[in-house]
Structure 1
């Protein structure tokens, strides 16, 4: 991912705050024996910015890739919008279209968890995050509705070793242009436009 200086996260708090409300991404591992990368869409739980926990079905093709090479990337993107050329034009025919988006890529070292207690712990943490009302019931290796299903999954603990964060919202452009784009996003109001506009205005205020 190319990150120009003006698109980089302002600080660690910016990407951490953004990622705190997002828990679905693409887990990518190197292919086996020269094959293409293995890409798995999945929910995950980032704990303290240091470790990611998740579980996947035992037949998932990623396991062979992880056993061959534990280096992975968890990629998350959101708040994206296409910006038409006319919105960025100072005069007719001079504008260049672009894409706005936020993206965080976490480089990690994967550790597979196969013991029942370890898998129950991961599942319990994820369910507590997604269902804070506790309606999911007891999650344990030796009791409750999940104990018989633990054999069908494998757990993953991903130790975060690097972070690349990008907030591409024309931060290097004149304020007048960014205000014009913000007005266009507000009027168009497609899915993603509100999030993109909020980032643009927030980053303008931070400069």
Structure 2
């Protein structure tokens, strides 16, 4: 991913936060010279086993058969169109053009299949992650766990899935949030976004104000 210096994000905590807040990733590899992609939730872990990513895909998806080279895992966060009319300098010089702000994290990682108990653990960690998020959002939500279903049913389901763990090779992140604009033009972007008063616009306005 090409990243202009102004938009390069190297803060590890900010990158991890984006992954946790936007876990649906696009995983990309090459199958017999043809690019292939899937859209699956991918979780970031950093514990006694080290830093890694986990996911699972349908066994019917042939993507898991191509493990000889690293995969590209793409996470995307907030994004929004930015009108040139929002820049005060445009009214003076007319030397401004529209753009698109966004957040993206690209991780190159080597996949490996996890079988048996390890595969069940990946499914459990994935379920627990999302169920805990719901419990934090809904007061009376009772988190679902794998143990809530019969063991033989879970084992049957596992046969239809392939659990994958990724060793991280490289991380690149771009947070394009109008950092390359003057304070006056950044204020204009914030005002333009706030005037829209949509969910996406409010999020982007907050990010532009916080960006350095």
TM-score class, shorter-chain normalisation, is: 0.7 to 0.9
Separation in structure 2 between the aligned mates of residue 18 and residue 155 of structure 1, nearest angstrom: 23
Could you state the TM-score of these two structures normalised by the residue count of structure 2?
Answer: 0.85
Separation in structure 2 between the aligned mates of residue 203 and residue 197 of structure 1, nearest angstrom: 10
Q: Tell me which residue corresponds to 1:45.
A: 43
Measured after TM superposition, the shift of residue 184 of structure 1 is: 0.4
Q: Tell me which residue corresponds to 1:187.
A: 195
Q: Tell me which residue corresponds to 1:109.
A: 110
Instruction: Say yes or no: does 1:135 pair with 2:144.
Output: yes
Does the 8 Å CA contact 1:89/1:95 hold for their aligned counterparts?
no
Q: Tell me which residue corresponds to 2:57.
A: 56
Q: Tell me which residue corresponds to 1:151.
A: 159
Judged with a 3 Å threshold, the aligned counterparts in structure 2 of structure 1 residues 10 and 174 are, in CA distance, closer, same or farther, namely: farther
Q: Tell me which residue corresponds to 2:139.
A: none
Measured after TM superposition, the shift of residue 10 of structure 1 is: 5.0
Name stretches of at least 5 consecutive residues in structure 2 with no aligned partner: 133-141
Could you state the TM-score of these two structures normalised by the residue count of structure 1?
Answer: 0.87
What is the SS of the residue equivalent to 1:182? helix
Q: Tell me which residue corresponds to 1:164.
A: 172
Does the 8 Å CA contact 2:71/2:109 hold for their aligned counterparts?
yes
Measured after TM superposition, the shift of residue 55 of structure 1 is: 0.9
Equivalent pairs counted in the alignment come to: 198
What is the SS of the residue equivalent to 2:89? coil
Separation in structure 1 between the aligned mates of residue 116 and residue 186 of structure 2, nearest angstrom: 53
What is the SS of the residue equivalent to 2:153? coil
Does the 8 Å CA contact 2:84/2:90 hold for their aligned counterparts?
no
Does the 8 Å CA contact 1:139/1:145 hold for their aligned counterparts?
no
Instruction: Compare 147-156 and 87-96 and name the one that shifted more.
Output: 87-96
Instruction: Compare 115-124 and 154-163 and name the one that shifted more.
Output: 115-124
Does the 8 Å CA contact 2:124/2:145 hold for their aligned counterparts?
no
Separation in structure 2 between the aligned mates of residue 148 and residue 28 of structure 1, nearest angstrom: 27
| CA RMSD after TM alignment | 2.1
Measured after TM superposition, the shift of residue 54 of structure 1 is: 1.0
Separation in structure 1 between the aligned mates of residue 78 and residue 119 of structure 2, nearest angstrom: 32
Q: Tell me which residue corresponds to 1:119.
A: 119
Q: Tell me which residue corresponds to 1:26.
A: 26
Measured after TM superposition, the shift of residue 84 of structure 1 is: 1.2
